[in-house]
Amino acid sequence: MSDTSTCPSTDRAVFRSWSSAPMMSGRLRMRFVTEDSIPCNREEIETRLERKMDGNMRTGRERQQRNLGIDLLRIFCMFLICILHVCGQGRAMVRYAGREEVWYSVYILETAAYCAVNTYGMISGYVGVRSVRRPSRIVELWLRVFWYSALGTLIAVTFFHLPVESDTLYQALLPTMWKTYWYFSSYVGVFVIEPYLNRLVKSLGSAGKKKLMITLFLLCSVFTMVPRVANRDFLGIGAGYSFLWLSVMYIIGACVRELTDQNGPERQKQECSEPGGAETGITETETTAGVKEQKEDSEKNVDFLHRSGGFYGMLYIICVLVTWISKILIENWTTSVYGEARYGRLLFSYASPTIVICAFCLLMIFSRLKCRGRVLRELIRFFSPLAFSVYLMQLQPYFWEYVLAGRYQFIAKLGPAAACLMVLVMAAALYLECTAVDLVRMAAFRLLRIRRVAQVITDFALRPFAGLTEQENREASGEV
């Protein structure tokens, strides 16, 4: 019987019984329940079902194995960003004459927090290279951005009678194009090319991934350091405020995920402990020899990706101190020579080598954390989805200019220890304040079923590309 002939009634009965199994989702049952959609070959039926079930089971395991350490890192990085905004736009770092010690003390907090943006970019790559791509996610994020830019402007103008300018309206209605939130505008570009960045990383071997990381670090961070001091940006890095820089951070984070998963001690133990079984035909002697060889290889492969958490913690502290001390020394020397402070931001930039290393260290530390305790895990799950909205709330144009500007200037008049403590307290309060506001947004999004709306918009926008997507999938799977 050919594959195009009508299916036997037995095969139809078997298929219907399988398609109605509790293990299968409603979408899958609806997909195969009609007569026309029933495959006409029993082997084909079994193959399709096995692939679908395997995919569902794999997705379930990925959800159960979610790295809460990375979610905690998102929360911590957003707290660091709050410190940056308290010190910068909040003017907690006003430099009063005769009170330089306060300024230096608070500046070390800003130095320690400056790597937060880079870390966020690395997190995107670390998670994105292994996660299932959901195009509607970017639409959902844009709707969240539009919520804060447009609604925040409407509230400021209507209830607080703040002035309206033409540029303000453009920022509110076109937040991505007008770079109201520069990070999100750059991230949109990264999201579009994310599948190709993932393919690039996955196509390389372990040595290739390491070379790619080192090359990007040297080219985009080390070699641009001196030209950046002279306001020369020959690679278009934009001191880290650019799509290109976020792409570099994404690639580094993706390489870290791939390398640590392939060569990490936990992965090696898992591979060594897997039974050979009848299909592999590996004897106990061969297995023991393989374990010894892998152990020797793992000892040889101990590099900067497989150090202890204490090592990365010490490296983070050293880079923070180097960045902080270099700024003080350079500015004091240029003041004595030129009469004004110059070149103080040699290492104080998102693209600075020391700042990149700090971000890398935080990623390595938090990705290994084991978050135990039910209360801690629930707190992480609660705060992590709201973290990005903390940034959106603070960068809302009216909030940035009329609420946050100069709000914490009183801190600069305190003593060094009190000023540092107050910066931390105010940053935590600002974080909780923005989180409380976002709870209203989250409730409104659930009521309006924004996730469903985002999915409908995405399906409509991607409909013209459906044929290209199917062809790309077939080429990737080797069917063409």
> Terminus-to-terminus CA distance in the chain, angstroms?
26
Burial (CB count within 10 angstroms: exposed 0-12, middle 13-18, buried 19+), residue 436 = exposed
Confidence of residue 31 (pLDDT cuts 50, 70, 90): very low
Q: Which residue has the higher pLDDT, 7 or 312?
A: 312
Per-residue tokens: 309: 């958490």
Contact between residue 220 and residue 245 where contact means Cβ atoms under 8 Å apart = yes
Q: How confident is the model at residue 226 (pLDDT cuts 50, 70, 90)?
A: confident
- Please state the domain extents for the chain: 68-273+309-448
Radius of gyration of the chain (CA): 27
Instruction: Give the burial class of 46: count Cβ atoms within 10 A of its Cβ; 0-12 exposed, 13-18 middle, 19 or more buried.
Output: middle
**Residue 262 — pLDDT band, cuts 50, 70, 90?**
low
Angle 353-367/68-87 helices, nearest 10 degrees? 140
Residue 39, sorted as left (phi over 0), alpha (psi -120 to 50) or beta, turns out to be beta
Residues 92 and 408 sit within 8 Å (Cβ to Cβ): yes
Question: 448 is written with which tokens?
Answer: 């309006």
Percentage of residues of the chain with pLDDT beyond 90: 56
- Overall pTM surpassing 0.85 (yes/no): no
Ranking 4-8, 240-244, 316-320 by mean pLDDT, the lowest is: 4-8
Summarised one tens digit per residue, pLDDT across range 368-413 is 998 988 999 999 999 999 999 999 999 999 999 999 999 999 999 9
pLDDT band at 98 (very low <50, low <70, confident <90, very high): confident
Shortest CA distance to 113 belongs to which of 364, 435, 420, 395?
420
Over residues 118-147, the mean pLDDT reads 95
- Is residue 470's pLDDT more than 80? no
pLDDT digits (tens, 9 = 90+) for 314-345: 999 999 999 999 999 998 898 888 888 888 88
Six-digit token pair at 354? 């020391």
